[in-house]
């Protein structure tokens, strides 16, 4: 049995495998928190935040469980550390998801909010559609999926 001085005060002795499991869990939790993004799901909430921090809004229309380009954009750009770090410092993120599978269904209220967003900003029903808005909700530019690097996608968004 191994004794660890730091933990000794709390628990007399801890076997290394238990400590290692706890340490790995804590490290995974910390790393997932450091790469997280703050997505908003309400335009009004996003506009308030954008005004508060003086940033533009990135509105993403996605079909998270059926749209292959949406899933690819999420994986190749939005889920990268590079995009997350940049977007956390420069944009307010707003997501309007339109899942089709019953198990992924949104609440009635959220679905209605997303439908209103689509009526205003995605009348053609393109997926994915990424719309850059100013803090008042005015359209600055839009794009769809592009096979590109996170940095090139950031540059594109900044060009609007």
* Domain spans of the chain, in order of start: 1-34, 37-158
Q: Buried b vs exposed e over 61-95: b needs ≥16 C-beta within 10 Å?
A: bbbbeebebbbebbebbbebeebbebbeeebbbbb
Q: How much is the average pLDDT of 2-16?
A: 42
- pTM for the complete prediction? 0.78
Question: Is it the case that residue 45 has pLDDT exceeding 60?
Answer: yes
- Superfamily of chain region 37-158: Glutaredoxin (3.40.30.10)
Q: Of 158, 90, 95, give the one whose Cα is nearest residue 128.
A: 95
pLDDT digits (tens, 9 = 90+) for 93-139: 999 999 999 999 999 999 999 999 999 999 999 999 999 999 999 99
What is the C-alpha separation between 120 and 134, in angstroms, rounded?
15
C-alpha count within 13 angstroms, C-beta hemisphere, residue 10 = 5
What is the C-alpha separation between 93 and 111, in angstroms, rounded?
18
């Amino acid at each position: 049995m191994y004794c660890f001085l730091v933990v000794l005060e709390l628990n007399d002795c801890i076997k290394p495998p238990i400590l290692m499991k706890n340490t790995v869990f804590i490290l995974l939790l910390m790393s997932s928190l450091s790469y997280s993004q703050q997505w908003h799901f309400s335009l009004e909430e996003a506009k308030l935040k954008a005004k508060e921090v003086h940033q533009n809004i990135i509105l993403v229309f996605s079909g998270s469980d059926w749209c292959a380009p949406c899933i690819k954009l999420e994986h190749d750009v939005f889920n990268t550390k590079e995009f997350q770090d940049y977007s956390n410092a420069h944009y307010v993120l707003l997501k309007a998801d339109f899942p089709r599978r019953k198990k992924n269904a949104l609440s009635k209220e959220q679905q209605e909010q997303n439908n209103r967003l689509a009526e205003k900003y995605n009348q053609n029903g393109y997926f994915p559609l990424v719309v850059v808005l100013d803090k008042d909700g005015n359209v600055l530019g839009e794009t769809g999926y592009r096979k590109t690097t996170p940095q090139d996608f950031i540059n594109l968004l900044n060009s609007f």
